Structure 1
Amino acid sequence: MNMVEEALHELSAAQAPDGFLERTLRACGLRDSYAKVATPIGDYFVAWRGNRVSAVSRADKGLDSFLGWFAEKVDRSLEPAASVPAAIRSALLATRGQGLSYDFGQLTEFEQAVLRKTLEIPRGEVRSYGWVAREIGRPGAVRAVGTALRHNPIPLLIPCHRVVRGDGDLGNYAGGHPELKKDILTLEGLDLGWLEDLARRRKRFLGSRTTHVFCHPTCFHARRIAPDNRVEFSAEQEARAAGYRPCRDCRPVAA
């Protein structure tokens, strides 16, 4: 308990009205609130502290499981709320976490860097674990990136579902079973059959004959390439040898 909380406890113990302490702590951002939100892919519990989201978890295991997990991982108490702040509810319903503030609790600097970079992946696109590792300046830490995402405390909003294996396989999902990952990506507009076909044929990049730029297959620019102008590449060397340069937006390879 910090000094502010101690002072409020003393004040509450004096002659404050019932519930004064909890209302004041919550208003000051010193208490985490939680509520349940129904989304297109199921019910979720969400916790927030002030204006910052602190946790998101599927509600299928029940409230007691969520409260126990939160107490263990975040090490703070939770108070039920009548409703979820409008911005957080809208973000959950749309699986769009950008624009919100987050409380990363006890996460390490590396784990926070992984989550912040993952938050940059646009809705409807995917990147590899290796891409995240390279983007945060730790290209050799691919496995550590996977571990950090496996323990993501705020899935759906921080989109670990948009991170896949380097060979194109979707891989596992921290927020639930792999089929749920497929459901979320489908909801966001991805053609998973097409992605799986590319992965089977080991095609990692798409290039445009008109711009001579190559991208991640799900990049916004790649999806705009007309079929007749689309070129598939299995490796960076193949694309560069054909006279193509990497996309500056999706950054498919190291600069």
Structure 2
Amino acid sequence: MSIEESLAGLAEQNGPDLEARVFAGWLTAPSRLGDVHVAVTGAGVQYLRSADGTPGESFAETYRERFGRPLRQLSKAPRGLLPALKGSKGQGPDLDVGGLSEFERSVLDVTSRIPAGQVRPYGWVAREAGRPAAVRAAASVLARNPVPLLVPCHRVVRGTGVLGDYMYGAERKRELLSAEGLDVDGADAATARGELFVASDTTGIVCFPSCHHARRITGPHRRPFRKVDAARAAGYRPCRDCRPAAVA
């Protein structure tokens, strides 16, 4: 008898409370990345990975190695999961990030608040998470993101403005951002010109180029900057919504 079978028998003898403590549940669901495998505990979604070429048994083994618990298949997705995987606005599912460090949770929380169709650099994430010098550490946290899509690490880019890599490939990152409304080719062109920030000479405010305020600035009133400090020196105030001062 396998360990999982022994645990299942013990859980069945002692009721659903013990079963919930022993096992996490898993299911396969459709998403913007195609089908994904999702692991769920009583506290929320804990782990998500692409199902492309990955059998459920392999996902369960990877999960057990990382989190130390066996999985049982679920018949029903938790509330909010399916709409969130499709990119719908609204309340997503609860997330189980209790096993992460305080900094890791902060990085994921900050990243989860980046609006759809907008991007922010790793330096912004690190500063918003309370550790401005920990840019590489923030990037490492997102490289290991246990719940991509639900925590949209595809919306975080390099400090140079380059969109950069993604755990499922740079092209998938571009596809996700484009589907959310970001002009990725335009963003590439602006980055090549060194336009990492954009100010409006009518409002006196400087933003990240993908900020919804920046998108409304008409051509004659756009003032590009490579550094936010240069914009501030020219008399522009950092946007209170996208907070570009976080990378100063």
Aligned to 1:127: 120
Instruction: State the AA in 2 paired with 1:195.
Output: A
CA contact (8 A) 1:97 1:119 kept: no
Is 2:50 aligned against 1:58?
yes
Question: Per-residue CA shift, 1:162-204, capped at 9, x if unaligned?
Answer: 1000001111113x11111111111111100010011111111
Aligned to 1:168: 161
Aligned residues: 239
TM-score for the superposition, normalised by structure 1: 0.86
Is 2:190 aligned against 1:192?
no
Q: How far apart, in 1, do the equivalents of 2:11 and 2:171 lie?
A: 50
Q: How far apart, in 2, do the equivalents of 1:80 and 1:166 lie?
A: 41
Aligned to 1:236: 228
Once the two structures are overlaid, the 10-residue window that deviates more, 157-166 or 84-93, is: 84-93
CA contact (8 A) 2:92 2:150 kept: no
Q: How far apart, in 1, do the equivalents of 2:170 and 2:51 lie?
A: 17
TM-score for the superposition, normalised by structure 2: 0.88
1:83-162 matches, cutoff 5 A: 83-94=76-87, 99-162=92-155
Identity %: 44
Q: How far apart, in 1, do the equivalents of 2:35 and 2:12 lie?
A: 38
Structure-2 change in CA distance of 1:53 and 1:10 (3 Å):
closer
Shift of 1:123: 1.1
Instruction: State the AA in 1 paired with 2:230.
Output: E
* Gapped regions of structure 2 (runs ≥ 5): 1-6
Runs of 4+ more than 4 Å apart = 23-26, 95-99
Instruction: State the AA in 2 paired with 1:148.
Output: V
Task: Pick one of 64, 71, 74 that aligns with 1:78.
Answer: 71
Structure-2 change in CA distance of 1:183 and 1:29 (3 Å):
farther
Instruction: State the AA in 2 paired with 1:92.
Output: L
Q: How far apart, in 2, do the equivalents of 1:40 and 1:11 lie?
A: 36
